Amino acid sequence: MTHRSTAPSASQETTAAISDAERRTRTDLAACYRLIDLFGMSDMILNHISARVPGDDEHFLINPFGMMYEEITASCLIKVDLAGKVIHNPNAQYTINLPGYVIHSAIHGARPDVACVLHTHTPAGMAVSALQCGLLPLNQTAMRFAGGVGYHDFEGVAVDVDERQRLAANLADRDVMILRNHGLLAVGRTVAEAFVNMQRLERACQTQLLTLSAGSPLHMPAPAVTERAYQQLRQAPTPNPDGTHPPHGEREWPALLRMLDRRDTSYRD
């Protein structure tokens, strides 16, 4: 399913017109696609990760529909506005995925604090999305999101723009959301934070399925302990000198980029 813009298929912007800040965001977003694939969270050409263009509340970057995550590069990303108009597309062979536009424009339009939105269809995420109990606080990793998970009921393939209001309302100010009978969604103030939020949510789903498959009675932590852990884990562990907490992923991201660079630097192209 694709969203075809009435805009010209050729790029409306030249490469030279892209700011240094946008170049950095493009590189981080391309890296995120490669990392999602490397960590086993991709679904062939499906799903999408988007990043807001720095300093611009109207435009975001998203993948060309038809490319594998392992192929994504900084320069191939498509720039689109919140109304669905393609602003910059370096390759007329590809366009954008309509559900990707619907889901991501919903969040970017409602959450100016969000720089990156990430959506997956992993087996573990889809399995937990179908459980009535949702995500359980069974371990420390899951407690990162205890009390902070949004849920959005399945309405069919997300191709109707009127679903955007409900997507945004169900996410509210949270970092993650489970799309019932569908998959997972994570956001972040940076690309790094969105990736780390998704990686931890994915691991929480995986361990929940392993725990439930053991067929043994569950040992649930006391609600007060769960709440304490949630408050501890919702902030990055090392505060800035002024006492504020940086986005999650700030410490991990340079190491993740080094790992990618040891394997293949083409995401930077």
**Residue 228 within a domain:** no
Most confident of 93-107, 169-183, 244-258: 169-183
The pTM score is 0.91
- CATH number, domain of 122, equals 3.40.225.10
Gap between the Cα atoms of 3 and 56, Å rounded: 22
Higher-confidence residue of 267 and 15: namely 267
The answer, yes or no, to whether residue 196 has pLDDT greater than 50, is yes
77-111 tens-digit pLDDT: 999 999 999 999 999 899 999 999 999 999 999 99
Number of domains forming the structure of the chain? 1
Strands, E assignment, 82-233: 86-88, 96-97, 116-120, 149-152, 176-179, 183-188
**Residue 97 within a domain:** yes
201 close to 137: Cβ distance less than 8 angstroms: no
* 94, 155, 122, 233: CA torsion to nearest 10: 110
Residues spanned by the domain of 205: 2-215+242-264
Gap between the Cα atoms of 158 and 42, Å rounded: 18
pLDDT at 15: 52
33-48 tens-digit pLDDT: 999 999 999 999 999 9
The answer, yes or no, to whether residue 61 has pLDDT greater than 70, is yes
